Amino acid sequence: MAFPFSSCKPKYALLSSLLLFLPLLLLISSSVADLSFNFYGSSCPGAEFIVRNTVRSASSSDSSVLGKLLRLIFHDCFVQGCDASVLVRGNGTERTDPGNASLGGFDVIESAKNVLEIFCPGIVSCADILVLAARDAVEALGGPVVPIPTGRRDGTVSAAEDVRPNIIDTDFTVDKMINIFSSKGLSVQDLVVLSGAHTVGAAHCNTFNSRFKRDPRGNFELIDASLDNSYAQTLLNKCSSSIDPTTAVVNNDPETSSTFDNQYYKNLLAHKGLFQTDSALMEDDRTRRIVEILASDGESFLERWTESFMKMSVIGVRVGEEGEIRRSCSSVN
């Protein structure tokens, strides 16, 4: 079943999507049963509209925020579940870990929360706002409209020490990535599909410069034979020794970086994966076959993205009396 890409999809299409994914949600976790697709229907009926409007408004002045919001959900949900713990400021919190130093989009989440606190004080969680904002970012980039159940509550603990054991580093092998995904209840297919998030956004040069080495004159040269030579040269030019690798950025997708599509997988077939983890997907039979399917069928990617994104969005959710509803997303109550 293909999902229309417009936010104006007919109501019956959305309903059929919801009915399709209800059994999936029930299989994922018993706690997910406390989530629902209209959780704020009576308590804050405009909640999803407010989040979507905030995302669209922010992206109109800075389109890069869309990729940042999508990245943010990965760094939240993979560490102690989708509980908005990555948003908390303070010494020793998740945000202080070096792996989270380049995260962005925090202001968008806080802006949406501020508006929601005016109309529906103490009702909408930061965890739900974060997931909805990531969903809306994908939609704004031309991706599918993913039906998202809400009702998550915010975590009360955010610790930097929890980050590294739970996130994917850019030099991981396929085995390491599979192990991390499996620990979150996600499959090999989910790994490949969710890696498709690299079809948008940008990365700092220091996140992939292990694929190069410096010569005696301080210039970079390619040492990773899995990269296309012309693409490698483009990266070398953009990340030359005269540029600060912690500030210089390169688009994740060299072809269609502002569109959510299956170009990422076509790039992998052409040996143009930016990160070592991207290229690794082509070196393992378990993942390469899925890459090839998704590269050849854009609609299949969007359908599978909808399934995998929803699964990720309910990892380790707090529900019922667990956690809290924060007054500010950057601090626990």
Active centre residues (catalytic): 75
**HEC per residue, 103-148:** CCCHHHHHHHHHHHHHHCCCCCCHHHHHHHHHHHHHHHCCCCCCCC
HSE (side-chain half, CA atoms, 13 Å) at 52? 14
HSE (side-chain half, CA atoms, 13 Å) at 179? 9
Tokens of 181: 């995904």
Question: How far, in Å, are 32, 36, 123, 168, 304 from residue 40 at the CA level?
Answer: 16, 9, 8, 33, 27
User: Quick one: CA torsion of 70, 76, 77, 83, rounded to 10 degrees?
Assistant: -120
**Cβ-proximal residues to 232 (8 Å cutoff; 6+ apart), any chain:** 211, 212, 222, 224
**Cβ-proximal residues to 303 (8 Å cutoff; 6+ apart), any chain:** 1, 2, 3, 144
Of 130, 264, 276, the C-alpha closest to 197 is: 264
> H or E element: which one contains 95?
none
Cβ–Cβ under 8 Å, residues 89 and 78: no
> H or E element: which one contains 18?
helix 11-28
**Which residues does residue 153 pair with via DSSP β-bridges, in sequence order?**
318
- Counting beta carbons within 10 angstroms of the beta carbon of residue 143, is it exposed (0 to 12), middle (13 to 18) or buried (19 or more)? buried
Q: How far apart are CA 188 and CA 39, in angstroms?
A: 31
Q: How far apart are CA 101 and CA 320, in angstroms?
A: 32
